[in-house]
Amino acid sequence: MNAEGTESQGRRTDTKIKCVVWDLDNTVWDGILSEAGADQLRPGVRAVIEQLDDRGILHSIASRNEHDLAMARLSALGVGEYFLYPQISWGAKSTAIARIAEELNIATNTIAFIDDDPFERDEVASQHPDVLCIDAADASGVSELARMQPRFVTTDAATRREKYRAEIQRQETAEGMAPGEFLRSLNMVFTIEEAGPSDLERLEELTVRTNQLNSTGLTYTFTDLEAFRESPDHLLLVASLDDRYGAYGKIGIAVVDRSHDEWRVLLLLMSCRVMSRGVGKVLLSHVLQLAADEHHRIVADFVHTPSNRAMFITLKLAGFTSVEGEGEPLRLIHDLSAIDAVPDYIDLRIIA
């Protein structure tokens, strides 16, 4: 399998939904909470919430209500645990959605918004035209939409909400602590290994879901990744992260073409969930060290997308420089004279 043939298999796909944001009155429940309504969930809502949660799609709230009263009612109806970073106040719902996207560290084009009021849907659409706005009358069929159906439901997906709950605990712990002190308190273990057959579904999911820290913006299918894994000319690495609050799961991928004296990084990807953990360059440094140990030059492909500037900065800070030329992918080169060390608060484990 040559590098050009493999690269052509990478593709951009329709964006999958990562979070469904719900209104409450006459949307999640029947009636209006402030008017002594909200005694029961609307038909089909519980099933949709549970089905999407099982697929790794998150839920949140944008509602004009009294926060504590609304959360108490959600808990009484048995669905309160499903909603992350609920925005329940009297402000604009477009502002609420922006805050949810920020808290979850996802793009607004991966959010769906369900509301019974066309004014509210239009207000959100006016500020976030890439949000999928859905009439509450159609809520029971939401789980059937193509953008709500990942190709695989991986272990990481099925436990995604719990991972975000753990992140909320981390944020609460970090309050009042210096950044360095907090990172050391996490007891992070970063593991790098060559991908096995059981990793491929999750790795496909990562390429589809990760936008900000994706060096080319391309996605690769299970079949593409399997071909990389089986090719003697390619290296397919997977990274995972754990800390004292639990497992983040598989959070990073590197695909390296080793068929020539000059190694070529076809894809470098890191989950946005770990951006603030100081681990962004650990996998990259490992790849650079492998190239240095085997006395190879190394270049990296980079394609600008609307959301991956953070990855470009990561590559530049790691010592990559741009090579003159036109068009994309950009060809970035590293002279391997200086490779960043692993931060001392991270326990790096390489599994051969």
- Domain containing 91 — which CATH number? 3.40.50.1000
Q: Is residue 2 part of a domain?
A: no
What average pLDDT does this structure show over 233-255? 94
Say whether pLDDT at 13 is over 50: no
Query: Same domain, yes or no, for 107 and 192?
Result: no
> Sorting pLDDT into bands at 50, 70 and 90, what band is 320?
very high
pLDDT (average), residues 11-23: 80
pLDDT at 326: 66
Report the SS3 class of residue 99.
helix
Encoded amino acid at 158, one letter: A
CA gap 47, 143 in Å, rounded: 9
Mapping DSSP to helix (H, G, I), strand (E, B) and coil, where does residue 167 land? helix
Q: How far apart are CA 219 and CA 333, in angstroms?
A: 23
Whole-number Å distance between alpha carbons of 124 and 143: 21
The reply to whether 210 and 114 lie within a common domain is no
Residues 144 and 192 in one domain: no
Taking the CB of residue 177, how many other CB atoms lie within 10 A of it? 12
Confidence of residue 121 (pLDDT cuts 50, 70, 90): very high
Share of the chain above pLDDT 70, in %: 95
| In a shared domain, residues 195 and 327 | yes
Residue in the structure block whose two tokens are 């329709």: 14
Closest C-alpha among 240, 203, 188 to residue 351: 240
210 and 296 together in one domain: yes
**Exposure of 127 by Cβ count < 10 A (0-12 exposed, 13-18 middle, 19+ buried)?**
middle
In a domain, 322, yes or no: yes
Neighbours of 2 (CB within 10 A): 11
- Is a pLDDT exceeding 70 seen at residue 324? no
CB 142, CB 134: distance < 8 Å: yes
Range 151-154 contact pairs with CB under 8 angstroms and sequence separation of 24 or more: 151/201, 151/204, 151/205, 151/208, 151/222, 152/201, 152/202, 152/204, 152/205, 152/222, 153/54, 153/55, 153/56, 154/56, 154/201, 154/202, 154/205
Model confidence at 325, pLDDT cuts 50, 70, 90, reads low
Q: Which of 336, 311, 312 is nearest to 322 (CA)?
A: 312
- Ranges of beta strands (E only) in 303-345 are 321-322, 330-334
Residues 289 and 336 in one domain: yes
Highest mean pLDDT among 19-23, 209-213, 339-343: 19-23
State yes or no: pLDDT of 8 exceeds 90. Answer: no
Tell me which of 55 and 212 has the higher pLDDT.
55
Domain count for the chain? 2
Same domain, residue pair 204 and 316? yes
User: What is the reported pLDDT for 2?
Assistant: 33
pLDDT at position 4, please?
31
- If you average pLDDT over each of 80-84, 150-154, 278-282, which comes out highest? 80-84
Residue 7 confidence (pLDDT) above 80: no
The boundaries of the domain holding residue 320 are: 187-351
What's the DSSP call for residue 39?
Answer: -
User: Is residue 238 a contact partner of residue 273, using CB atoms and an 8 Å limit?
Assistant: no
Q: Is the pLDDT of residue 328 over 80?
A: no
In 180-215, which positions are buried (b, 16+ CB within 10 angstroms) versus exposed (e)?
Answer: eebbeebebebbbeebeeebbbbbbbbbbbbbbbbb
CATH number at residue 241: 3.40.630.30
In a domain, 170, yes or no: no
- Cα→Cα distances 162→57, 166, 244, 323, Å: 12, 6, 14, 43
Contacts of 136 (CB under 8 A, 6+ apart): 23, 26, 27, 42, 114, 115, 116
